[in-house]
Chain A
């Protein structure tokens, strides 16, 4: 019984981190068809912003988070305007451009901070015990944040005019344009939202991780796996896929401790299995023409 509780709690925590990252990525892909490989690099930049704010400037973690979210969102929108928007029609070029952007961020961080491993303090220090399992308050915060983000996004997309415009553009870009929606502006706003979510994830998750310039690579692979598993462009799919892979990781760690390092590959294998049965992912659209 204790083992089952460990797996459930471990899976929820792991899945929450993946969900926060994947939702932002899915949003920009679903709306603007942009595969932003640099998504987790923005998460890395936000983490360093928080480090500077809390460790170098002595600010409280909350202010550091807010500053990081604002700055990184601005950075994302500028990157979109300068680098991605001009080549949006060429998906291959966008893919390469976002990889290049991620590498640039990585090398800039490496130049400034070197490869030394750094950390930031938790927003809420300490832990509590639930059903015999110790859980950090920061992990609970991550879980709650994932639920909050999903709920807030749902309200935004379903209950606001801008959300309506975003959904319309996601459904059919050309028709949305014909209906008077400035599709380019919607794409830029969505990019800002997406990068803002990545920055928010950095803010919430970074106390649980180690800062170094290459920290964006590990989450990138898992995030892509989540998005593909859930269905490209499906927010609901990303949410569900994140927890499926989170539980898969927890299962490996608890049932095969000698193979704990395999938790990533096992999760990816599950993704492949699902894709073999359902190539469009769990909640994806079967054919491009149906969109």
Chain B
């Protein structure tokens, strides 16, 4: 067995992934905060004002990373779902479950910030543009995924049912995107398109990339934190979890005992 395979097999077990996730969560949280601070500084103090859209364009520093993450996280969920269906691994299903609320949040943020950007730029909070419509449908796909999982009591069944739904959705996402795009071009004249926008200044791109990586690191930190909670919830009855709980209880007992003695 190669080292690579051994690494994957080792951390496919919730028992060994739990402490690893616990160590990685603060690391990615710190990275997210640092990148977000740097990105926001570039976005608001360094990047020039857009000659066409004025200051309102600065909302894209939040909007574009959110939209990218919303689409990307759905693919990651589909990936973990495929792994969990193919290899019947518990942890990959838990990862998919942990990512879904964050993905839905990014889709919502993308729509909300898009509405605030669209009002000064297009003169309307909402237009039936292909990107907007497909992001809205993506949000509904996330909500359906979360709702299906929440309405099945047995966690293993919920894992497998939600995984199949995520895969059906992933096949459908490109079809939805292109059908919506075609529908839009047939119906109404072209709205301002992002692809036709003037080429971005270097500092604008830097700010956007910094914030994208910040959003990425935030997603990883939150997903790892959530997956730890899910592991605790599901594995509460398992041996390693009760040993872990006993260890930490022992430590706190020691601490309170020494505290009592000091008193």
Q: Do A and B bind each other?
A: no
